[in-house]
Structure 1
């Protein structure tokens, strides 16, 4: 059995390998701290220049990803792994990786277009990818929404581009569409005046444009009125519910009968 020189083995292999591992750990920790500091400085600088919050978050995320990749390459170099060979290997498998990550890459590309074209920004209320909510973050690969029932939803950026996008916050006001059915025998113009009096008292409706109350149609139950106040998007549901209450209050004050279908009976002699 050959003699094993433990000292030679220790000095030649184990100690250098251990030092490389310790150096890699140290570089990872220190590099992570430096990356967070640089990202924080970038965020503060962009915030001081009053850059859009969407661009701030996107720029910070992009910087972190780029610096993390550089940090991993530096650690591999310290450990003695030839990064040039690794890069060649990645390039050789680029097609396969591209196919496997096609969805991820399409989300990344869509995220870049979202930042450049800016169809919405953080804080806007939108409907996209089958979800409706307030935008809390536009990430590299997905956009984060907070729904009306306080759920956090992540929608892939490519899905947002592939579907119709509705931005409820883009315009200064939004119309609330409601209806009021009045019974046969109730004078429509008098009903409109009564509704105008009550609806005009609803909080947070806009005065320009003013609430619109018009005859929508005549049906078997009587006259169907369209009640359409306007408000900012943040007040939409408050105005929606309060306008319904105003319609109920107007009906109660006027003492209008409950609308019911009316049929004309024809008697033959």
Structure 2
């Protein structure tokens, strides 16, 4: 009977100790997570007051959040009696295994740092990088998030972005819209060019300076091909593109210019 009572006392003491530690771990986790979120919010407010670039701000916020979460986990494990040195060795071993399996992980991290430091683009810019064209949503630790014009969020590895050509369409104040116009071979190309310059200048959001460019680009069997090039802000590119094509069609039709038609000359030779 004494042995049973002793066993019950040991079980009760062990359950009490485990329960106390479990409650403490839960409490530490909740408080720790709250403190981490509080620190991240305060850091974000400080950087906003200092007018830090949004790209750099998100990058630093992600790095601080990940670091503090690792510290919290190590602290909880140490409280539970788990050797943190063993845990650190385990983490290092896992890191080596991950690095061997995904050799590009560290290169993506390094490329992300260079993207933030060299600043070839920022969040909100419209770019082409890594074979993807769209608006930059976020420059993360390992990937850059780009929202394409057809509203598809695409993740591109930072190493691919940094190692490839980068086109930043937002960096300059304006860009040129590339349009073409096929004329009939019998059409008065000088009058057509002057008409298109006047009509394209009236399209909404087309800039007065630089002026609309209309010149002969090429020659085909149908007739000359005109290069029609209005200038606009990047935000209005597609509106000017589509409105410009419509204006070309309507202006030439209203001006009485003949429609471009493929023509062939047939020679008939009578054989005696």
TM-score by length of 1: 0.93
Contact 1:23 1:78 in 2 (8 A): no
Aligned with 2:85: secondary structure?
A: helix
Aligned with 1:106: secondary structure?
A: helix
CA drift at 1:263? 3.3
Q: 1:7 aligns with which of 9, 17, 26?
A: 9
CA drift at 1:100? 2.5
In structure 2, the partner of 1:68 is 69
| Residues 32, 101 of structure 1: alpha-carbon distance in 2 compared, 3 angstrom cutoff | farther
In structure 1, the partner of 2:249 is 248
Alpha-carbon distance in structure 1 between the residues aligned to 2:160 and 2:194: 47
Of the structure 1 ranges 135-144 and 159-168, higher mean CA displacement relative to structure 2 is found in 159-168
CA drift at 1:128? 2.0
In structure 1, the partner of 2:168 is 167
TM-score by length of 2: 0.92
In structure 2, the partner of 1:184 is 185
Of the structure 1 ranges 167-176 and 62-71, higher mean CA displacement relative to structure 2 is found in 167-176
Alpha-carbon distance in structure 1 between the residues aligned to 2:158 and 2:192: 48
Aligned with 2:37: secondary structure?
A: helix
Contact 1:175 1:228 in 2 (8 A): yes
Alpha-carbon distance in structure 2 between the residues aligned to 1:199 and 1:101: 52
Contact 1:202 1:239 in 2 (8 A): yes
Alpha-carbon distance in structure 1 between the residues aligned to 2:91 and 2:48: 37
Aligned with 1:183: secondary structure?
A: coil
Q: Do residues 98 (structure 1) and 99 (structure 2) align?
A: yes
Root-mean-square deviation (Å):
1.9
Q: Do residues 149 (structure 1) and 180 (structure 2) align?
A: no
| Residues 101, 220 of structure 1: alpha-carbon distance in 2 compared, 3 angstrom cutoff | closer
In structure 2, the partner of 1:58 is 59
Alpha-carbon distance in structure 2 between the residues aligned to 1:182 and 1:38: 66
In structure 1, the partner of 2:222 is 221
CA drift at 1:93? 5.7
Across the two proteins, how many residue pairs are aligned to each other? 268
| Residues 208, 93 of structure 1: alpha-carbon distance in 2 compared, 3 angstrom cutoff | same
Aligned with 1:209: secondary structure?
A: coil
In structure 1, the partner of 2:44 is 43
| Residues 45, 262 of structure 1: alpha-carbon distance in 2 compared, 3 angstrom cutoff | same
- Give the gaps of 5 or more residues in structure 1: none
1:9-67 Cα offsets, whole Å, 9 max, x none, are: 321x2222221111111111111111111111111111111111101111111110111
Alpha-carbon distance in structure 2 between the residues aligned to 1:226 and 1:102: 47
In structure 2, the partner of 1:234 is 235
| Residues 176, 92 of structure 1: alpha-carbon distance in 2 compared, 3 angstrom cutoff | closer
CA drift at 1:7? 0.9
- Give the gaps of 5 or more residues in structure 2: none
Aligned with 1:23: secondary structure?
A: helix
In structure 1, the partner of 2:111 is 110
Alpha-carbon distance in structure 2 between the residues aligned to 1:186 and 1:145: 45
Aligned with 1:179: secondary structure?
A: strand
Contact 1:221 1:261 in 2 (8 A): yes
Alpha-carbon distance in structure 2 between the residues aligned to 1:94 and 1:222: 65
CA drift at 1:92? 5.2
Q: Any residues of structure 2 matched to 1:26-41 within 5 Å, and which?
A: 26-41=27-42
Of the structure 1 ranges 87-96 and 128-137, higher mean CA displacement relative to structure 2 is found in 87-96
Contact 2:183 2:223 in 1 (8 A): yes
